[in-house]
Amino acid sequence: MTTQAGPRTAQELVNPHWWMPFTPNRDFLADPKLVTRAAGVHYTGFDGSRILDGSSGLFCVSAGHGRREIADAVRDQILELDFTPSFLRGHPGAFELARRIAGLTPPGLDRIFFANSGSEAVDSAMKIVLAYHRARGEGQRQIFVSRERAYHGVGFGSGALSGMVNNRRAFGLGLNGVVHLRHTQLETHRFSRGEGEAGVELAEDLERVVALHGAECIAAVFIEPIAGSTGCLVPPRGYLRRLREICDRHGLLLVFDEVITGLGRTGAPFAAQSFAVIPDLITMAKAITNGVQPMGAVAVRRGIYDTVLNAQDNPAAPEFFHGTTFSASPAAVAAALATLDIYASEGLFARALELSPYFMNAVWSLADLGIVTDLRGYGLLAGFDVASDGVPGHRGYLLQKRLFEAGLHIKTTGDSGLLAPAFTFTRDQIDEMVAILRRVLLTF
C-alpha cells in the first residue's frame, strides 16, 4: 500500500482539499477513518483491520460488497457503449431496466423516470406531481405535505420536505409551501417491534392540513413508509392506510420515498407491499445498483404518465421538461440490471424476510443495557437510541467512532444508530455485530 517515500499514516494521506459531506471535517482530518477495500460484508480499514459493515454502507450494498457480476457488467457496458445522452437518444438497457423495475413495483406503478440519487429522485417526483396537476387543470395544487423528522434528501425541494432541523437551519427559507405532519415516535412505542399499536390518529394531522390550506391547493404527501435516516421510525399500525384514505378523499397524490426501504429492505420489493398500501409514486435509489453506481428512480402510476404526456399538443416538444445528463447512464443501468439479477437469482428479498426475526431478536438483546433508551425495527432495518450525554449527537458520534475502531461500521444520526445488514449476512455475522455493539456500548 505504501512506498518508502509515500504516505505512511492515515493522517498523512488525508487533506482538507476534499470538503467531506455530512462529516465534521476538522475532526476527521485529526482522526481519519479510512477504508481501502470491501468484500462480502466487510470493509478493510487503512491499517488492515476487518470491519463488519452493519449498515450496508449507507443502506446501499444489500447483496454484499465486491460482486463480480456487477463489476463485469459495468466494465462490459463501458466498453460497448460508455455514454449516450438520454435526451432524444436511448439505449436498450434503460428500457430493459425500466421494465424490470416495473415488474417489482406494485401493479400500475409501471412508468419509471431515472435520476442519479435519492435527492434527485425526490425532486423529480415533486416536479412530476406538479406537472400532473397542471396537466389536468389543477395547477393551483402546489403545497407539499411531509413529516417532521423526515429525510428526503438535500436538494432545495427534497430538503424542504425533510424535517430534520440540522439539515434546514443553515439554508434559509428554502422552498415555500411545505407543511409537516407530526412524526410518529411515541413514548408508548419504546422498545416495540414492528408497527406500533398506538398512533394511527396521527394521520389525522393530514385532515387538519386540508382544513387549513384547502384540499384544492395541496399537491401531494411525501412519506417514508419507515422514516429511515432519523433512526428507523416504523409507522403505527393502520397509519399509512389512513393517509391513503385521506389522500383519496381529497385528490392528493401519495408518494412513498423508498430510498432506504425499497429493493428488499422490508422483505418485499417495496415497503408499499409489506404494508399493503399502494402510493401513486415511489422514489428509490441506493440499493438499486447495490451502491456501486449513482442511480435513483421514480416509479409513477400509469395514469399520471398518460395525463402528463397527453397534455402536450406539440409532438416535437418534450412532455416533461426535466432530466439530467446522467439519467439512465449506461454504466449505472448495467449495474442495476446485474444487481436485480443477483437479488432474483439468490432470492435475497425472501432471505431478508427470513432473516428478520433472528436479526430482531439479536438487536432486542441489547434492551438490557441502561444506555439504550429505545429500540425499533422492521425487516432488516433497526434503530436504537443511546442516552444523550447532554450535547445532542455527541455520544452517537463517539459511538460510531469507537465501533469502527472495534470492527463495526454503522450509520448514526444524532444519538441514534441504524443497523441495516446486507441480505447476505449469516446468523453468525448478526451475532458478531450485536456482540461488538454490546461491548462498545458498555464502554460509555
The helix or strand, by DSSP H or E, that contains position 336, with its residue range, turns out to be helix 330-345
CB of 192 to ligand PLP, least distance (A): 22
CB of 36 to ligand PLP, least distance (A): 23
- Exactly one of 64, 93, 106, 118 binds ligand PLP (CB under 6 A); that residue is 118
User: Which residue, 224 or 280, has its beta carbon nearer to ligand PLP?
Assistant: 224
User: Which residue, 106 or 118, has its beta carbon nearer to ligand PLP?
Assistant: 118
Q: Is 353 in the site for ligand PLP (CB under 6 A)?
A: no
User: Which residue, 150 or 386, has its beta carbon nearer to ligand PLP?
Assistant: 150
> What length does the chain have?
444
- Exactly one of 55, 62, 105, 229 binds ligand PLP (CB under 6 A); that residue is 229
User: Which residue, 229 or 327, has its beta carbon nearer to ligand PLP?
Assistant: 229
| 185-188-190-193 Cα dihedral, nearest 10 degrees | -90
Cα 365 from Cα 441, distance rounded (Å): 13
Q: Is 153 in the site for ligand PLP (CB under 6 A)?
A: yes
What is the full DSSP assignment across 21-51? TTS-HHHHHHS---EEEEEBTEEEETTS-EE
Q: Is 349 in the site for ligand PLP (CB under 6 A)?
A: no
Retrieve residue 141's grid coordinates: 395544487
First to last CA, the chain: 35
Q: Residue 266 — φ and ψ, nearest 5°? A: -95, 5
Contact 52, 436 (CB under 8 A): yes
- Exactly one of 77, 117, 185, 429 binds ligand PLP (CB under 6 A); that residue is 117
Q: Is 335 in the site for ligand PLP (CB under 6 A)?
A: no
User: Which residue, 63 or 210, has its beta carbon nearer to ligand PLP?
Assistant: 63
Segment interacting with ligand PLP, rule: CB under 6 A, options 111-119, 331-339, 357-365, 376-384: 111-119
Q: Is 98 in the site for ligand PLP (CB under 6 A)?
A: no
Q: Is 123 in the site for ligand PLP (CB under 6 A)?
A: no
CB of 314 to ligand PLP, least distance (A): 33
Q: Is 265 in the site for ligand PLP (CB under 6 A)?
A: no
- Exactly one of 97, 122, 282, 386 binds ligand PLP (CB under 6 A); that residue is 122
Exposure of 148 by Cβ count < 10 A (0-12 exposed, 13-18 middle, 19+ buried)? middle
User: Which residue, 104 or 232, has its beta carbon nearer to ligand PLP?
Assistant: 232
Please work out, in degrees rounded to the nearest 5, the angle formed at the alpha carbon of residue 435 by the alpha carbons of 226 and 52.
Answer: 70
Q: Residue 23 — φ and ψ, nearest 5°? A: -145, 135
Please work out, in degrees rounded to the nearest 5, the angle formed at the alpha carbon of residue 128 by the alpha carbons of 211 and 311.
Answer: 100
Residues engaged in binding ligand PLP (CB under 6 A): 117-119, 122, 151-153, 224, 228-229, 257, 259-260, 285
